[in-house]
């Protein structure tokens, strides 16, 4: 164990030295930087505008970019490797994975990063209502967004008063919709759903998913609803309950 710890410490020191040598490009625990511009305005190594958005031993994270079109030089052991590049249209792509366009046509995307994970926790109080059903808008998807994964993690069962059963479902556009996650028990005990085909909503089962997902709208935004249904008591009788809902998406 002592040898393993020594090796890990040695590796961290090496990384720290390497990052310090490339200090103009990074902001992290080893080499903290304040938001600002490094270099000039000519495209090339060192010409970046950056801001730190994460703490800890992160190998650099950036959200602001300069007019040269470059956004972030990821640590690669070489200062000349631009792994993450900004194309001045709001899209970010990995240079090594960029697709080379053909000579005909007009480029729309050369392989931008489009896979995201969204997560948010909701407590029993978020579903308060004077009847046995409460749907809430948990998020809104942009146009051309495909849902490729969904989970609901019931971390605390929804209980209280005379309520003796409850279900939670996730869908689009309206209360009680269940295209994303089917109605599942959230009263009996803590549970996780999205791990089996039977947990998925009507549009995300294996039989229904198109190209591995569900794209609600190509032209407009889509409101995502979570709906809680209770039995033998109204939603406002609940005194406990918590769920974290996860969505994985791809945007085109």
243 burial class (0-12, 13-18, 19+ CB within 10 angstroms)? buried
Give residue 195's pLDDT band: very low, low, confident or very high (50, 70, 90). Answer: very high
Listed by start position, the domains of the chain span 2-97, 115-251
| Contact between residue 85 and residue 95 where contact means Cβ atoms under 8 Å apart | yes
CA-wise closest residue to 201 among 165, 224, 170, 173: 170
Residue 226 has pLDDT above 70, yes or no: yes
What are the pLDDT digits (tens) for 69-107? 334 333 333 332 334 444 445 566 666 667 788 899 987
Residue 233 has pLDDT above 50, yes or no: yes
Q: How many CB atoms lie within 10 A of CB 231?
A: 12
> Where does the chain show beta strands of DSSP type E?
36-38, 48-50, 70-72, 84-86, 92-94, 115-123, 133-141, 145-159, 165-172, 181-185, 191-193, 222-231, 240-251
* Local structure of residue 108 (DSSP, 8 states): S
What are the pLDDT digits (tens) for 130-164? 999 999 999 999 999 999 999 999 999 999 999 99
pTM: 0.68
Q: How many CB atoms lie within 10 A of CB 146?
A: 21
Within the chain, what is the greatest distance between any pair of CA atoms?
69
Structure token pair of residue 69: 């079109």
| Contact between residue 252 and residue 144 where contact means Cβ atoms under 8 Å apart | yes
User: What average pLDDT does this structure show over 117-128?
Assistant: 97
CATH fold for the domain made of 115-251? Jelly Rolls (2.60.120)
Structure token pair of residue 151: 């989970």
- The more confident residue out of 58 and 239 is 239
Structure token pair of residue 63: 């959200």
What are the pLDDT digits (tens) for 16-75? 333 333 333 333 333 334 444 343 333 333 333 333 333 333 333 333 333 333 343 333
How far is Cα 131 from Cα 233, in angstroms, rounded to an integer? 8
Please list the alpha-helical segments (H only) found in the chain: 2-21
How far is Cα 80 from Cα 47, in angstroms, rounded to an integer? 12
- The more confident residue out of 81 and 123 is 123
Q: How many CB atoms lie within 10 A of CB 184?
A: 19
pLDDT of the residue at 42: 36
- The more confident residue out of 238 and 75 is 238
CA-wise closest residue to 177 among 201, 153, 210: 201
* Local structure of residue 10 (DSSP, 8 states): H
Give residue 188's pLDDT band: very low, low, confident or very high (50, 70, 90). Answer: very high
């Amino acid at each position: 164990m002592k040898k393993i710890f020594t090796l890990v410490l040695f590796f961290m020191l090496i990384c720290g030295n390497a990052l310090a040598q490339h200090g103009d490009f990074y902001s992290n625990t080893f080499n903290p930087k304040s938001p600002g511009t490094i270099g000039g305005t000519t495209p090339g190594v060192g010409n970046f505008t950056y801001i730190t958005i994460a703490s800890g031993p992160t190998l650099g994270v950036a959200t602001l970019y300069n007019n040269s079109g470059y956004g972030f030089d990821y640590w690669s052991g070489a200062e000349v490797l631009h792994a993450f590049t900004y194309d001045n249209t709001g899209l970010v792509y990995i240079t090594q994975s960029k697709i080379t366009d053909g000579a005909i046509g007009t480029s729309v995307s050369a392989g931008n990063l489009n896979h995201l994970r969204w997560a948010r926790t909701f407590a029993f109080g978020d579903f308060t209502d004077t009847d046995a059903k409460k749907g809430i808008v948990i998020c809104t998807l942009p146009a051309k967004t495909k849902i490729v994964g969904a989970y609901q993690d019931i971390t605390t069962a929804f209980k209280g008063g005379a309520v003796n059963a409850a279900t939670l479902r996730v869908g689009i556009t309206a209360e009680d919709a269940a295209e994303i996650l089917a109605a599942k028990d959230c009263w009996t005990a803590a549970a996780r759903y999205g791990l089996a085909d039977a947990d998925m909503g009507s549009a995300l089962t294996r039989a229904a998913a198109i190209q591995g997902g569900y794209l609600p709208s190509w032209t407009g935004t889509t409101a995502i609803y979570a709906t809680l249904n209770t039995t033998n008591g109204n939603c406002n009788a609940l005194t406990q309950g918590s769920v974290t809902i996860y969505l994985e998406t791809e945007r085109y």
